[in-house]
Amino acid sequence: MSVVLKPSRRRFLKSTGLLLGAAVPGVAGVRTAFAAPAYITLDGNRPQLDQGIQIGDVRADRAMIWSRTDRPSRMIVEYDFDGSFAEPVMLRGPHALQTTDYTSRLDLTGLPADREVFVRVSYQDLSNERVMSEAVSGRFVTAPIGARDIRFVWSGDTAGQGWGINPDFGGMKIYEAMRQTQPDFFIHSGDNIYADGPISEYQDAEDGKVWRNLVTEEVSKVAESLDEFRGRYKYNLMDENVRRFNAEVPQIWQWDDHEVVNNWSDSKDLSGDIRYSEKNVPLLVARGSRAFQEYAPMRPFSAVESERVYRHIPYGRLMDVFVLDMRSYRGPNTDNRQTEASPETAFLGAEQVAWLKRKLAESRAVWKVIAADMPIGLLVRDGAKWENLANGDGEPLGRELEMADLLRYIKRAHIKNTVWFTADVHYCAAHYYDPNKAQFQDFDPFWEFVTGPLNAGSFGPNGLDNTFGPQVVFQKAPPAANTSPFGGYQFFGQVDIDARTAEMTVALKDIDGATVFTKTLAPEGRGHGYGHGHGDKHDHEHDHGRGRDRDRDRDRR
């Protein structure tokens, strides 16, 4: 039986803000009035939104709204400042076509700062404009302009090493633990998917346990075709914890290697990997990048560099977020011992380093949050080569030359309160970089916090490189490599900034949301109205399990 709803034109015009005298926010959708369709439901024969919605790159006046349908359709977005949607603003968004795997995004602009916004997304079938999907709802809070309490969470590494969605385990339940903290946003530090890690129905875990996965055709082998890369993102969105989280927590996505293939760089050679029939790494990078861009709730940078990942997201007077890309511009993985900088020693790349220096110098926020794909001082191998910038003890060599230049600049430009947040190594840690204990000493001390994985094998801890003097203040790693999520060594981080004192408290949390370590930092420097100090108040270790330091091969991670 069909249900036909015919809203009055006056109510429709009121909902779109197009009545005479009504304010029309500046939203990147079609602002002209379009005929209100008579909405029809046809017993399942209408567009589906099985992947839910995502909200990304929220600023004080805008947010990206993402969704996906299953057929040629037009995206319709409604928003209101009341959850009842009594007077929604309706916007006609872009078409969702096969060329983008039926994904679409709309940049919702003209929003008020520091305001809760409710959104609904639906799709209008292009074969019959009267056929509409059911709407999927979400919510978010826009960034402040001034100072208020801020909370965000971060982590990385989803569905790695064959540990996928296990319904018996509760799915990817760490996403629910993160949602329960009610953060303003989430930074995914990379490895959003594991395109190079097949997922089978059953996988042996520790202590004789068996892990049971949901499996789709696209994840049952390494991703080579564009559709197989896309299928990896759709797989993660099968998890109800992830979909619920996405609808309520805005995201900032980065990427790393597993969005394409393990440890990829210009030197990657797949000739000996029998899993791959497609050996052309640049082609795999192109397909992986295309799928990432389609599924990330990320604002495209510009036509100049439409696939650019590194970006700056301001978050009021207390914080600026600088999102890095340690993958796209790096030179080949080598022994990493070059004595002079060259294209071969690039890690961030000259253009991104120049951008970061400029944006850090321009920032007037108290805290400069640097979201990195990988830790700075941990040793991460790629067989006989080095995957990270660290390459062993001693003066800066190879990729370390680029980091030495950046850290020297931060010191000499008197840029205060930089804190690095990352994932990648599949355990959690707090590192203090101390120039007094470093081989290279021309930098100010700073903190780096590491967490993850979200739903993947657990590893670590990795060995340290003393070039920049990292000191392990805390770490928690599993007793054996590739410990399953059963073991509980899945981690995320939570950051709280107090509006009154501007203190930053960093908590490392486990799969159930229990805190294993906290560190509170006081802001340094003058000019922001919060005094000046040494930036180090106190830390508290909630769990003393610290495993042995060891330098692990990263081939499985």
Residue 109 CA to residue 62 CA, distance in Å, equals: 4
Residue 553 lies in a domain: no
| Residue 189: domain span | 150-541
Residue 299 CA to residue 56 CA, distance in Å, equals: 8
Give the closest residue to 348 by CA, choosing from 288, 306, 402, 428: 402
Residues 121 and 225 grouped into a single domain? no
State which of 141, 164, 194 marks the end of a domain: 141
Residue 428 CA to residue 548 CA, distance in Å, equals: 14
Q: Is the pTM of this model over 0.75?
A: yes
Residues 72 and 188 grouped into a single domain? no
Other Cβ atoms within 10 Å of 45 Cβ, number:
10
Give the closest residue to 479 by CA, choosing from 545, 423, 431, 542: 545
Residues 101 and 203 grouped into a single domain? no
Residue 554 lies in a domain: no
Residues 322 and 356: beta-carbon distance below 8 Å: yes
Q: How buried is 314 (Cβ within 10 angstroms: 0-12 exposed, 13-18 middle, 19+ buried)?
A: middle
Give the closest residue to 369 by CA, choosing from 410, 420, 305, 324: 420
Residue 106 CA to residue 120 CA, distance in Å, equals: 12
Residue 187 CA to residue 321 CA, distance in Å, equals: 10
Residues 468 and 376 grouped into a single domain? yes
User: DSSP letter string over 496-525?
Assistant: EE-TTT--EEEEEEETTS-EEEEEEEPPPS
Residues 172 and 221 grouped into a single domain? yes
Domain CATH number, residue 105: 2.60.40.380
What string of pLDDT tens digits covers the 557 residues of the chain?
222 233 333 333 333 333 222 333 333 444 433 444 545 555 568 999 999 999 999 999 999 999 999 999 999 999 999 999 999 999 999 999 999 999 999 999 999 999 999 999 999 999 998 999 999 999 999 999 999 999 999 999 999 999 999 999 999 999 999 999 999 999 999 999 999 999 999 999 999 999 999 999 999 999 999 999 999 999 999 999 999 999 999 999 999 999 999 999 988 999 999 999 999 999 999 999 999 999 999 999 888 888 999 999 999 999 999 999 999 999 999 999 999 999 999 999 999 999 999 999 999 999 999 999 999 999 999 999 999 999 999 999 999 999 999 999 999 999 999 999 999 999 999 999 999 999 999 999 999 999 999 999 999 999 999 999 999 999 999 999 999 999 999 999 999 999 999 999 999 999 999 999 999 999 997 444 443 344 566 666 664 433 333 333 344 45
Give the closest residue to 380 by CA, choosing from 328, 333, 437: 333
According to the model, what pLDDT value does residue 527 have? 43
Residues 91 and 154 grouped into a single domain? no
Residue 261 lies in a domain: yes
Residue 310 lies in a domain: yes
Residue 557 CA to residue 552 CA, distance in Å, equals: 9
Residues 328 and 468 grouped into a single domain? yes
According to the model, what pLDDT value does residue 446 have? 98
Strands 418-422, 446-450: pairing kind: parallel
Residue 101 CA to residue 117 CA, distance in Å, equals: 28
According to the model, what pLDDT value does residue 306 have? 87
Give, as one character, the DSSP assignment of residue 429.
Answer: E
Give the closest residue to 33 by CA, choosing from 21, 20, 16: 16
Hey, what's the torsion of the CAs at 231, 234, 235, 240, to 10 degrees?
Answer: -170
Whether the bond between 461 and the residue before it is cis, its omega within 30 degrees of 0, is: yes
Domain CATH number, residue 498: 3.60.21.70
Residues 160 and 301 grouped into a single domain? yes
Distances (CA, A) of 398 to 207, 262, 343, 350, 437: 42, 21, 10, 14, 20
Question: At 35, which amino acid appears?
Answer: A
Residues 105 and 170 grouped into a single domain? no
According to the model, what pLDDT value does residue 55 have? 98
Residue 117 lies in a domain: yes
State which of 75, 108, 141 marks the end of a domain: 141
Residues 123 and 102: beta-carbon distance below 8 Å: no
Residues 350 and 450 grouped into a single domain? yes
* Cβ within 8 Å of residue 272, ≥6 positions away: none
Residue 513 lies in a domain: yes
* Cβ within 8 Å of residue 471, ≥6 positions away: 431, 432, 433, 434, 437
State which of 141, 158, 176 marks the end of a domain: 141
According to the model, what pLDDT value does residue 538 have? 61
Kindly report the three-state secondary structure assignment for every residue of 274-340.
Answer: CCCCCCCHHHHHHHHHHHHHHHCCCCCCCCCCCCCCCEEEECCCCEEEEECCCCCCCCCCCCCCCCC
User: DSSP letter string over 194-229?
Assistant: -TT----SEEE-GGG-EEE----GGGSS---SHHHH
Q: What are phi and psi of 150, to 5 degrees?
A: -125, 140
According to the model, what pLDDT value does residue 542 have? 62
Residues 522 and 536: beta-carbon distance below 8 Å: yes
Residues 383 and 332: beta-carbon distance below 8 Å: no
Residues 110 and 159 grouped into a single domain? no
Whether the bond between 453 and the residue before it is cis, its omega within 30 degrees of 0, is: yes
Residue 552 lies in a domain: no
Residue 551 lies in a domain: no
Residues 22 and 77 grouped into a single domain? yes
What's the domain count of the chain? 2
